[in-house]
C-alpha cells in the first residue's frame, strides 16, 4: 500500500509532543558541556545552559516551520509529496 503525504499541518506539528522532544534533546546536548574540564559550575552557568537549550529549540522550531511552509507550497503547486510504501506481514 502506497501512501503519499501531501500536506502537513503546521499547528499539528507545533502543538504536538514534537517541541517537547526537541527541547529535551537540546537540553541534554547543552548539559553535555558540564563535562568540559574548564567549566565552572555555578547558577549563572547552569542558567546559561538552559537558555542555550531554549534558544536552540526555538531556532529549530522556526526552521521546521519554514521547511513545512516550503513543503506545503511545493505540494500545492503540483510537485509530488513524500511517498511511503507500507507492507503487511
Q: What is the pLDDT of residue 68?
A: 95
Domain boundaries, the chain: 2-85
Q: What is the pLDDT of residue 39?
A: 78
**The three grid cell numbers given for residue 62, joined into one nine-digit string:** 522556526
Q: Is 53 exposed, middle or buried (0-12, 13-18, 19+ CB in 10 A)?
A: buried
Q: What is the pLDDT of residue 2?
A: 87
Q: What is the pLDDT of residue 50?
A: 93
Q: Is 26 exposed, middle or buried (0-12, 13-18, 19+ CB in 10 A)?
A: buried
Say if pTM beats, i.e. exceeds, 0.85. no
Q: What is the pLDDT of residue 35?
A: 85
Q: What is the pLDDT of residue 33?
A: 86
Residues 6+ apart with CB under 8 A from 63: none
What residues in the chain have per-residue pLDDT under 70? none
| Residue 66 · residue 3 · CB < 8 Å | no
Amino acid at each position: 500500500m502506497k501512501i503519499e503525504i501531501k500536506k502537513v499541518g503546521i499547528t499539528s506539528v507545533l502543538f504536538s509532543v514534537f517541541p517537547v522532544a526537541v527541547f529535551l534533546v537540546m537540553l541534554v546536548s547543552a548539559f553535555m558541556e558540564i563535562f568540559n574540564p574548564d567549566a565552572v559550575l555555578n547558577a549563572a552557568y547552569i542558567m546559561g545552559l538552559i537558555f542555550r537549550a531554549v534558544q536552540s529549540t526555538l531556532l529549530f522550531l522556526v526552521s521546521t516551520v519554514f521547511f513545512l511552509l516550503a513543503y506545503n507550497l511545493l505540494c500545492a503547486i503540483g510537485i509530488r509529496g513524500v511517498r511511503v510504501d507500507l507492507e503487511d506481514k
